[in-house]
Amino acid sequence: MMPIRYRKRIAFRKEGKIRFIGHLDMLRTFQRALSRAGVELVFSQGFNPHPQMSFAQPLSLGVCGKREYMELQLAEPWENTALLQRVNAQLPEGLLLTECRDMPEGVKSAMSLSTHALYHIELPSCHKDEYPLLLENFLSSEKIPIRKLAKHHGRKQEVEVDLKPMIRSLSLSEPCTLQLWCACSGTENLKPDRMMRVFWEKSGHPEDAGTERIDRVDLYREEEGHMCSLMDLLPEK
Amino acid sequence: MKHVTIPDSILLSVEKPARYIGNEIGAIYKDPEKTPVRIAFCYPDVYEVGMSHLGLQILYGDFNRMDNVYCERVFAPWRDMEEQLRTHNIPLYTLETYTPVRDMDFLAFTLQYEMSFTNVLNVLDLSGIPLYAKDRTDRDPLVIAGGPTASNPEVLAPFIDFFYIGEGEVSYEELFRRYEEHKAAGGGRRDFLEKILDLGPIYVPAFYDVTYQDHPAPGASRTPAIRSITPNRPDAPLKIRKDIVEDLDTAFYPTRPIIPYLQTIHDRATMEIFRGCIHGCRFCQAGQVYKPVRYRSKEKVLELCRQIIKNTGYDEISFTSLSTDDYPWLKELMEEFHREFPHVSVSLPSLRVDAFSLELMQQLAEGKKSGLTFAAEAGTQRLRDVINKGLTEEEILSGCGLAFHGGWDRVKLYFMLGLPTESMEDVDGIARFAYRILDTWSQIPKEERSRDIQITVSTSFFVPKAFSAFQWAPQVSEEEYLNRQKFLNEQIRSRKIRYNCHDSFISTLEGLMARGDRRVSKLVYTAWKKGCRFDSWSDQFRESAWREAIEECDIELDYYNHRERPADEVFPWDLIDYGVNKAWLRREYERAMEGIPTPDCREHCTGCGMMGFARQGLCFMPREEKK
């Protein structure tokens, strides 16, 4: 029999220095904060029970999250505002829960719903005038290949991946800000820091790699051509 | 005061940037304007290692309890970060306020092992603080060192302004109070060092002169032994007495520890249940320098556990001490803890294996059966009598028998090679020991034991340490270490027995640092200059650089390591008083040579000296029978 559980989808921000902690370290941080806040999670059944907590999509190290998603299965009912307050009091600077909604029975997890992400990429102002042309060149290439370590034929090895098909749109929203819509799901996930490394190499300023500031604005599900934020998929209450 | 800014591009380019950002839950933030005494506390290894250290959490919490003090942390940056800091000319900074370490009042190192010495120098250098104490000015922080490895302070003596001997919870409060006064009055660093001599545990190397004999020591070709170490000013004490906490129940304990983001070596809460050890293993330094045994009451332990669990959210806690079995109320503690916190698992290091502990482990593991570990230390009873390790082969075999019946299938055995008086027969005894455990398993009917068995034999090389009974003993040469290792490896033929061993050169260096004197300091400096860092990390250790440094500094291993030291030799650490008499240690050494064991403190007092040092009755509390 399934234990009684209350499912919540929670949006949170990850910014400041804490964006330099990895996904697993952040997960442990949340687990301990919940425990200190007295929020009891439901444990999975089976040989090695673990608390029921999941995230939509991991954020690359160093990237700010403006609306990240976490889902919890609670052992007791919690009022959403009270839950946010109690947990926020236990979180380190830089992590902040901002919204919480109930997930009705049958609603799919954020992890399986997410298809796209929106990123804002702040570029250094020193090459301000070059960006329109650099972007045009970057997008005109047929492929944007990167090499990465991946499981291939059962063992880890370097494989070539083309980022181009994962970019839905990339434009300058301000003179020094790139706006990137890209694939972000369990099967296809563009890492903007990897894309930017290629951008800087092609731009003739390889020394500027890593100088951009990346924010992930939100995660979305594409439905009938529209992008719908994962939080807005749930009824407001 | 200036703050350091670390560009994102640097943090993105190094491995595990979380090592360098601070901001953890439990980290303490104060207004530096309101704290006249500022300390950078340094564990001279990488963040994850340092943050696993209980002593850091204790002193960090204890110092920050004081309103006039702000204690922050600093660790040894990994090589990638060091390169970035040097390239961008960024001074080493504290994790709390990003203040340059060189702008602090104190830089306090905790010394936990000898192979961290090059990191101490590197931290000083990256901070922009002159390496040698004599070159520092009133603008530089006062550099302190403490911890068990400060028991022989001499190898680092030229780099340290003062050592604090013993447990830090005792005299720092008064020391910082005096510093605040001194600073307000505009006093200089040398005057301050003079003002703290009467506190007791303070050793200022600059206030002592070392003289040497005119001729090489017997057994050495060119290095003379020490003739004397004497104060060069009247108020410098002749003996530096360690500080000890008398009552653990009233002592400070960190119930809001810092919770690292990164997974550390011990990723759990830590509860120290007692300090000190009643056993007198003759190779053991900790057993002597942490004397006497002081228990924390069961009630206090539970009270602290309640707070720690509430404040941290950890779901695992470790009850630590030098030998868990000797805690008088272990069974009751475990029962009461389990009743109150059914979801918090407990780990008990250093547990002896018997019926009681197996039942405990069964409870702890809840189905998961991790390996059994035995520190047998030596392969024959003769040699175990020499080292006074009160653990017999029968006890281990019967423990294993019980465990195999209970389904355990992995056994780890720890031994030392190169112990005093060791012969090839003793080395062979290690292999025979492992085979007898295998026999114990084979003799159990198949349906009552696990299907397979894995026995792991690990050997390390014995390194004589200051304040252990073996401080006079010769250390086996590198070549001889390897002979014994090779011989043992040849005796182990079964595929069910695996053999792991250590690097012999690192043990040689460790021995050199452990019993070295001020003349060895230039070796540490030279090795550091040649790029040596993180020497306790086998993948970072630069053997050839160390060998060159030994050559260049003309360090004679026959003098420092290989000879037996005469009974009346002046040791570099003779000024330091841990409460245990040198005469008693010598008696222990002689008994060792005759193969006579010495009873532990529970059986009867053998007059080590602690009784007179500590308050009456503090030495030992009678242990209640285990039921």
Do A93 and A191 sit in the same domain of this protein? Answer: no
pLDDT at B354 over 70: no
Six token digits for residue B534: 């993180």
Residue A237 lies in a domain: no
Q: How many CB pairs under 8 A join A and B?
A: 64
Spell out the residues 6+ positions from residue B273 whose beta carbon is closer than 8 angstroms to its own. B295, B296, B301, B319, B320, B321, B324, B327, B333
Cβ contact, residue pair A32, B312, below 8 Å: yes
Q: State pLDDT tens for residues B296-311.
A: 999 999 999 999 999 9
Which of A61, A89, A113 is the last residue before a domain boundary? A113
CB contact under 8 Å between B313 and A33, yes or no, is yes
In the predicted model, residues of chain A with pLDDT beneath 50 are none
Q: What is the pLDDT of residue B305?
A: 97
Closest CB to B25: pick one of A20, A92, A213.
Answer: A92
Among the partner-chain residues A25, A90, A211, the one whose CB lies closest to the CB of B261 is A25
pLDDT digits (tens, 9 = 90+) for B542-561: 999 999 999 999 999 999 99
Same domain? A103 vs A125: no
Domain match, A125 and A57 both: no
Last residue of a domain, one of A97, A113, A129: A113
For residue A162, the distance in angstroms to the closest alpha carbon of chain B comes to 23
Q: Is A61 in Cβ contact with B12 (below 8 Å)?
A: yes
**Token digits of residue B398:** 């019967």
Q: What is the pLDDT of residues B149-178, one digit of tens each?
A: 999 999 999 999 999 999 999 999 999 999
CA B422/CA B364 separation, integer angstroms: 38
Measured over all CA atoms, what is the biggest interatomic distance in chain B, rounded to whole angstroms? 79
pLDDT score, position A237: 67
Interface test with B, best of A19, A20, A214 (most B CBs within 10 A): A20
In chain B, the percentage of residues whose pLDDT exceeds 70 is 95
CB contact under 8 A, A210 and B8: yes
Percent of chain A with pLDDT over 70: 98
**What's the gap in Å between the CA of B312 and the closest CA on chain A?**
6
Q: Which residues pair with B316 in a beta bridge?
A: B345
Q: Does A49 contact chain B (CB < 8 Å)?
A: no
Quick one: A134 and A200 in the same domain? yes
Query: Is the residue at A232 inside a domain?
Result: no
Residue A67 resides in a domain: yes
What per-residue confidence (pLDDT) applies to B265? 80
Q: What was the pLDDT predicted at B173?
A: 97
Q: How confident is the model at residue B366 (pLDDT cuts 50, 70, 90)?
A: low
* Whether residue B465 has pLDDT greater than 80: yes
Confidence of residue B349 (pLDDT cuts 50, 70, 90): confident
Amino acid at A115: T
- Pairing status of strand B274-275 against strand B294-295: antiparallel
| Chain A residues close to B261, C-beta within 8 Å | 18, 21, 25-26, 28-29
DSSP per residue, B167-213? -TTTTHHHHHHHHHHHHHTT--HHHHHHHTGGGSSEE-GGGEEEEEE
Query: Are residue A126 and residue A189 in the same domain, yes or no?
Result: yes
Residue A25 lies in a domain: yes
CB within 8 Å: B8 and A213: yes
Q: Pick the more confident residue, B48 or B375.
A: B48
Any domain includes A215: yes
Cβ-based contacts of A22 with chain B (< 8 Å): 18
pLDDT band at B374 (very low <50, low <70, confident <90, very high): confident
CB B468 within 8 A of CB B288: yes
Does the beta carbon of A61 lie under 8 angstroms from any beta carbon of chain B? Answer: yes
**According to the model, what pLDDT value does residue B353 have?**
67
Under an 8 Å CB criterion, which residues of B touch A? 8-9, 11-13, 17-18, 21-25, 259, 261-263, 310-315
Residue A68 lies in a domain: yes
Taking residues B109-117, what's their average pLDDT? 97
Q: How many domains does chain A have?
A: 2
At residue B618, the pLDDT reads: 59
ipTM summary value: 0.88
Q: B317, B269, B280, B277: which is closest to B295 by C-alpha? A: B277
B8, B81, B308: best mutation site toward chain A, by most A Cβ within 10 Å?
Answer: B8
Shared domain check, A109 and A120: no
| Cβ contact A28–B24 (<8 Å) | no
Residue type at B414 in one-letter notation: Y
CB-closest option in A21, A32, A193 to B314: A32
Q: What's the pLDDT score for residue B111?
A: 98
CA B177 distance to own-chain centroid = 29
Domains in chain B (CATH in brackets) are 8-229 (3.40.50.280)
Q: How many C-beta neighbours within 10 Å does residue A236 have?
A: 7
3-state secondary structure of B483: helix
B415-462: per-residue pLDDT in tens? Answer: 999 999 999 999 999 999 999 999 999 999 988 888 899 999 999 999
Q: Which residue has the higher pLDDT, B299 or B350?
A: B299
The reported pLDDT for the residue numbered B355 is 64
For residue A193, the chain B residues in CB contact (below 8 A) are 12
Q: Which residues of A touch B18 (CB under 8 A)?
A: 20-22, 25
CB contact under 8 A, A26 and B18: no
Say which residue the tokens 């030992």 belong to.
B620
**Domain identity same for A74 and A129:** no
Same domain for A101 and A135, yes or no, is: no
pLDDT, position A3: 64
Whether A134 and A35 share a structural domain = no
Q: Is A21 on the interface with B (CB under 8 A)?
A: yes
Same domain for A87 and A122, yes or no, is no
Does the CA dihedral B394-B395-B399-B400 come out positive or negative? negative
B622 has a pLDDT exceeding 60: no
Partner B contacted by A110 (CB < 8 A)? no
pLDDT tens track for B215-259? 999 999 999 999 999 999 999 999 999 999 989 999 999 999 999
Q: Residue B4's pLDDT band (boundaries 50, 70, 90)?
A: very high
Q: Is A9 helix (H, G, I), strand (E, B) or coil?
A: strand
Does residue B114 contact residue B513 with C-beta atoms inside 8 Å? yes
Average pLDDT over chain B, rounded to whole?
A: 93
Q: What is the pLDDT of residue B613?
A: 77
Instruction: Check whether residue A80 and residue A156 sit in a common domain.
Output: no
Q: Identify the pLDDT of residue A59.
A: 95
**Do residue B261 and residue A21 have CB atoms under 8 angstroms apart?**
yes
> Residue B627: its pLDDT value, please?
33
Q: Which two tokens stand for residue B482?
A: 């390897």
* pLDDT at residue B399, rounded to an integer: 85
**CATH code, domain carrying A20:** 3.30.70.580
Which residue in this structure is represented by tokens 């089976």?
A46
> What residues of chain B lie within 8 A of the CB of A38, using their CB?
none
Q: How confident is the model at residue B1 (pLDDT cuts 50, 70, 90)?
A: low
Complete DSSP assignment for B353-406: -SHHHHHHHHHHHTT----EEEEEESSSHHHHHHHT----HHHHHHHHHHHHHT
User: CA-CA distance, B282 to B302, in Å (whole number)?
Assistant: 33
Residue A131: domain span: 116-226
Within 8 A of B313 by CB-CB distance, chain A residues are 31-36, 90
The whole-number pLDDT of residue A45 equals 80
Q: Say if A1 falls within a structural domain.
A: no
Instruction: Say if CB B431 and CB B488 are below 8 A apart.
Output: yes
pLDDT band at B623 (very low <50, low <70, confident <90, very high): very low
CB pair distance less than 8 Å for B313 and A90: yes
Query: Residue B214 is which amino acid?
Result: D
Q: Are residues A106 and A136 in the same domain?
A: no
* Rounded distance between C-alpha atoms, residue B48 and residue B46, angstroms: 6
d(CA B450, CA B359): 18
Q: How many CB atoms lie within 10 A of CB B490?
A: 10
Contact status of A35 with chain B (Cβ, < 8 Å)? yes
**Does residue B54 carry a pLDDT above 90?**
yes
Contact B580, B535 (CB under 8 A): no
Averaged over B313-342, what is the pLDDT? Answer: 91
Spell out which residues of chain B touch residue A31, defining contact as CB-CB under 8 Å.
313
Q: Choose between A29 and B404: higher pLDDT.
A: A29
Q: What is the DSSP string of A197-220?
A: HHHHHHHT-GGGTT-SEEEEEEEE
Partners of B311 on chain A (C-beta within 8 Å) are 36
Cut 0.80: pTM above it: yes
Determine, for residues A18 and B23 on separate chains, whether the beta-carbon distance falls below 8 Å. yes
Last residue of a domain, one of A51, A83, A113: A113
Please answer yes or no on whether B313 and A34 come within 8 Å at the CB atom: yes
Q: Would the CB atoms of A62 and B18 count as touching at under 8 Å?
A: no
